[in-house]
Amino acid sequence: MTRLKTDILVIGAGSGGLSVAAGASQMGADVVLLEGHKMGGDCLNYGCVPSKALLASAKAAHAQRHASPFGIENASGSANYAAAKDHVADVIAQIAPVDSQERFEGFGVKVIRAFGHFISPTEVQAGETVIQARRIVIATGSSPLVPAIPGLEAVPYETNETLFDLRTAPKHLLIIGGGPIGVEMAQAHVRLGSQVTIVEGAKVLGKDDPELAEVVLNALRDEGVVIEEGATASEIKGKAGAIEIVAEDGRSIKGTHLLMAVGRRTNTAKLNLEAAGIETNGRGIKVDAGLRTTNRRVYAIGDAAGGMQFTHVAGYHAGVIIRSMLFALPSKAKTTHIPWVTYTDPELAQVGMTETEAKNEHGINLEVVRFPYNHNDRAIAERKTTGFIKVMVVKGRPVGASIVGYQAGELINLWALALANRMKMGQIAAMVAPYPTIGEVNKRAAGAYFSPRLFESPTVKKLVGLVQRFVP
């Protein structure tokens, strides 16, 4: 048995763990990194990267079939599913060196390719190595949640961890789960030539503003996706190529392939957390505002911490705990400025409070300003006029922004900046946006906040009149 001592032990080489390892080692800490599976974690290998790459292939096919509005003859846009998966693999391969073992060893990190588990509050065993660390970071991420639906154990199904290995396009893909993963893969596959049905027990995109979500769902329906809401699966029947979902209300939905996309579960089962005195709750590892666990020497970040499950949150968490671990400075994680995006066409983006949440918290102090894409000249030129922005404003400060439309994921960045720095609407309105850009949507939304105050105010009109009469 080999024994090591280190300043910081990071368990998991996904986005959060890699960020901690890179930052801490480059600032002088001795770091050991454990990874029992693939460097880069779920995001690189099974999540964000492959899904966006497949969506890009689907977008290219869709564009060829819908070129006539631009004066270009429509083409067949027929998709080679296996070649699209080659594109996915190539994208992963291009990004992989950034997350590679060799790169992190270049930073001075000792990388051990093995799973680890606690054997004491300060020690983790990985294979034949025991690592004793002053600080330990759990960044083990999450895996697909597969509920115990009767019959599922006898029927072949995919998750995001296996879907990208498929080389033949499903004839009819059934997707159980109407969250971001489900709707993104629904649109990707319908554009690549599959029939697609989403089966959701409640509402599809139910965590988003329903007004904006409906714009996305209408787009999916227009492209041929069948959406079955309020359809909780009670039984799965069939075999490869002939699968049937029976809903509690008796609906029968049939297809050839099944994708389970009902959510995620944190990867903590192998860690032996009890040996370290680390408690869990219903979502994941129990942490305080500084992301410390019930063992103060151990932190949990990203999906393992049981909060918002996004790659960028894991990266943000890394910055929070580095401040605490390396400099002994107080540091707390917040969620009010964290954006999220569903990368359908149109995209759906959110930061801060939705309209409903803001109404519940701020009541009559809330103002909601809107601006539609069809009044943006660049959107008109690009024929991307579906969508709008809503900004929730309280006493001159934005507390939330919801955007559905072209490049919504890019537009939300400005509002994430505004919320993170408690900016006022006047500061957004003062921005000069180049013309013509989609980004003008943000400035025009800020302008919509001030327009009634300037153009409908008797006081303003009276003042202007006085100036015109008496000021030479």
pLDDT beyond 80 at 456: no
pLDDT in tens, 159-182: 999 999 999 999 999 999 999 999
Under DSSP, the state recorded for 292 is B
* The pLDDT of residue 453 is above 80: no
Listed in sequence order, the residues at least 6 apart from 128 whose beta carbon sits closer than 8 Å to its beta carbon are: 1, 2
Say what the pLDDT of residue 293 is: 98
Q: Which tens digits make up the pLDDT trace of 410-442?
A: 999 999 999 999 999 999 999 999 999 999 999
CA angle 314, 315, 320 (to 5 degrees): 90
Scanning 133-256, the segments in alpha helix (DSSP H) are: 180-191, 210-222
- How many Cβ atoms are within 10 Å of 65's Cβ, its own excluded? 13
Q: pLDDT tens across 52-68, in order? A: 999 999 999 999 999 99
pLDDT 10s digits, 348-378: 999 999 999 999 999 999 999 999 999 999 9
Encoded amino acid at 265, one letter: R
Full set of structural domains in the chain with CATH:
2-39+100-144+265-327 (3.50.50.60), 152-262 (3.50.50.60), 339-455 (3.30.390.30)
pLDDT tens digits for 90-123? 999 999 999 999 999 999 999 999 999 999 999 9
Q: Given this model, what pLDDT does residue 241 score?
A: 96
**CA distance linking residue 404 with residue 214, whole number of Å:** 10
